[in-house]
Amino acid sequence: MPKVNKLHMNNKKCIVLLSGGLDSTTCLAAAKAEGYECYTMAVDYGQRHNSELMAAQRVSTHFIAKAHKVIKIDLRAIGGSALTDDIKVPDHNDIEDENHIPITYVPARNTIFLSIALGYAETIGANDMFIGVNAVDYSGYPDCRPEFIESFEKMANLATKAQVEGQKFSIHTPLLNLTKAEIIKMGKRLGVDYGLTVSCYKADELGNACGNCDSCYYRKLGFEQAEVKDPTRYK
């Protein structure tokens, strides 16, 4: 039988992956509502702008996270995405095949982010991680699917010292099967100020959104369908 570390049992600590966008902010609000002591983690991975990192800090402060950590890695070194390479970010209307994985997909991003979050969880004795992936109103990214989350959780419970000592890691995806409108309604119930968030792929350094990219399209549509005033600042 594996030895159980009683210091880590029944804790309510969690890591929340926080991009500063609409979904991850709602995810943080959901974790807080469940009574978790939240440690937020943003990743400076070489994305086009820093405004989303600034938004993540604002959101973390707003929800009084226990700590906020920014991890720096350089995904521009491998490129392959309009968010990390010298590739034009298309407007939503320019996307000809919505069933095709868009050029804004960052190769292995969620795999990398969750791996770092898993390491962070081990160091603070947390058994739970929250990520705001969504498999309904999204851009078709393969690392937002439930099969991916299930597979990563299984791996996390094979590859860690904490698991050998009797701990079990869980990955929480409270937004997985919600439409963007349903996410916004949830967030409003939980006290989210969406004016703090930045979702745009082409936002300027002040966080003003372009209003035309895929991310802006789904965000605007969500507010319209939720019948909630859109607080987004547009260029």
Domain count for the chain: 1
pLDDT tens, position by position, 105-148: 888 999 999 999 999 999 999 999 999 998 875 557 888 889 99
Residue 4 falls inside a structural domain: no
Residue 232 falls inside a structural domain: no
Residue 204 falls inside a structural domain: yes
Ranges of H-type helices in 43-160: 51-62, 109-124, 146-156
Tell me the residue range of the domain where 199 lies. 13-226
pLDDT (tens digit, 0 to 9) for every residue of the chain, 235 residues total?
A: 334 344 444 469 999 999 999 999 999 999 999 999 999 999 999 998 889 999 999 999 999 999 999 999 999 999 999 888 989 988 887 665 556 788 888 889 999 999 999 999 999 999 999 999 988 755 578 888 899 999 999 999 998 888 788 889 999 999 999 999 999 999 999 999 999 999 999 999 899 999 999 899 999 999 999 999 999 999 8
Domain harbouring 156, CATH code: 3.40.50.620
Residue 174 falls inside a structural domain: yes
Pair 24, 18: CB distance under 8 Å: yes
Closest CA to 59 of 40, 73, 72: 40
Residue 3 falls inside a structural domain: no
Ranges of H-type helices in the chain: 22-33, 51-62, 109-124, 146-156, 161-164, 180-189, 214-226
Residue 235 falls inside a structural domain: no
Amino acid in the structure at residue 87: I
Residue 7 falls inside a structural domain: no
